[in-house]
Amino acid sequence: MGVEGYIRSEIQKLQALYRDAKVYAAGFSLGSALTTIACLDIHNLFGHCDELYTYGEPRVGNENFANYVTQSIPQRYRVIHHNDIVPHLPPQLPIPYAHFAYEIWYDKNMQSYKQCGAEEFKCSKSVLPTSWSSSDHDINYYIKIGAWWIDSWNSLT
């Protein structure tokens, strides 16, 4: 059994035990692109994928795909660290790749962030290509950001 079959089987088992449980999905880099597709698959098979968190995600599909993600997944956030190059890939031309909403864009020191829609110029899209950085794609930045989300969520529960 491949990863897809394993995940489907495990979700089916968990939903049999916990019918009202929410399904969360998270991933980093290429894994976040795969997580987006997996969350849609889970939504289509089981009726819901409640929350999606991606970190340093590249563009996955065209605008229709991005709109479908936005409409299908109730809570979805693409977290981007400062000048990370990966969220700008693949480029939007000649094929019109697009991101889904919402973007959470962190500053260099991860002290503050802005929340934007899908492809707004006030967040990561405001960064010029000459400033894009592969070092800002380091998973160690995203681990810290992820820890902040977990700490914030735990304080609410």
Cβ distance 71 to 94 under 8 Å? no
Q: Give me the catalytic one of 29, 82, 88, 99.
A: 29
CA distance 112 to 104: 10
Q: Give me the catalytic one of 84, 99, 124, 136.
A: 84
CA distance 121 to 102: 13
Whether residue 138 lies in the annotated active site: no
Q: Say if strands 61-62 and 103-106 run parallel, antiparallel, or are unpaired.
A: unpaired
Whether residue 81 lies in the annotated active site: no
For residue 80, give the nearest of 50, 117, 124 by alpha carbon.
Answer: 124
Q: Give me the catalytic one of 43, 81, 99, 137.
A: 137
Residues 6+ apart with CB under 8 A from 140: none
Whether residue 112 lies in the annotated active site: no
What residues act catalytically? 29, 84, 137
